[in-house]
Amino acid sequence: MSHRIDHVFATAAERGRRILIPFITAGDPDPAWTVPIMHALVAGGADLIELGVPFSDPMADGPVIQASSERAIARGVDLAGVLEMVRAFRADDVDTPVVLMGYMNPVERFGVDALAGAFRSAGVDGLLMVDCPPEELVALQPALDAAGAYAVLLVAPTTTEHRLQQIARAARGFIYYVSFKGITGAGRLDTAALQEPLARIRRHSQLPVAVGFGIKDPAAAAAVAQHADAVVIGSALVENLVGSDAAEEACGRAREFVASMRESLDNMAGSE
């Protein structure tokens, strides 16, 4: 059986479908709602889910995701709890890939030795460490390999040709392109400026390319998808879930939000 991430991208490529990747912080707004929200995201048209592991000092994130991390931490969510959520999600969904996104310290504290078994048994497909460039990721690589999980790597507008070569060699599954110099949720997206850097990535790698940071609405998603294989939506979705009174309401919001993005992507020229 091929890797869940590879399978999703390969199937989408055959059908001309753009991949939609919503990000939510695990445990926010309420830890008990996270698994139902994940299912709602899939029902709305998500192809892959990025699940944020909350961290107290999220240096690369903007105020929306930082606040959501703080709420999740206040409710006692840690990496072990996040893995429990993935395991529970897998009971009803064995197809949708789940990539954990977060920072090094909670992963280290969980224990690199324990990581492989825990990822495998929970059904985690990938790990994106925001504060860990490939130079430092070597320490986690054996555990990820043993778990059959991919290290998803970032490329930024500032990434040099030399670094891009290294990243392309080490990357698995897909490459995540950070759409601008800045933090998550900032309003700096310039979709026209994506063409050149994505072409540059494709000269070095056959892997599909996802674009994230600053994509707030269906129109922006469609504009980005003119150039990218996949679109990541984080802060706008996290903000949308704030203030939900119950799991049903949060799930409804999540499903509608993703469905509006899905519709926009599916109606693009060139899509079926």
Catalytic residues: 50, 61
CB atoms within 10 A of CB 175: 25
CB of 171 to other proteins, least distance (A): 11
Q: Quick one: tokens of 239?
A: 């903000």
Residue 170 sits at the vertex; the CA angle it makes with 165 and 175, to the nearest 5 degrees, is 80
**DSSP calls for 218-230:** HHHHHHHHTT-SE
Convert residues 155-194 into a mask of x (bound to other proteins by CB under 8 A) and - (unbound): xxxxxx--x---x----------x--xxx--x-x------
CB of 118 to other proteins, least distance (A): 14
d(CA 65, CA 70): 9
The residue count for the chain: 272
Under rule CB under 8 A, residue 51 binds other proteins: no
d(CA 265, CA 216): 14
Of 102, 100, 76, nearest to 87 by C-alpha is 100
CB of 138 to other proteins, least distance (A): 11
3-state secondary structure of 158: coil
CB of 104 to other proteins, least distance (A): 4
Give residues 10-49 in contact with other proteins (rule: CB under 8 A): none
Pairing of strands 150-151, 153-155: unpaired
Span from 6-14, 26-34, 73-81, 258-266 in contact with other proteins (CB under 8 A): 73-81
Convert residues 83-122 into a mask of x (bound to other proteins by CB under 8 A) and - (unbound): --------------------xxxxxxxx------------
Which residues of this chain interact with other proteins, rule CB under 8 A? 54-60, 62-63, 66, 70, 73, 78-80, 103-110, 130-133, 135-136, 153-160, 163, 167, 178, 181-183, 186, 188
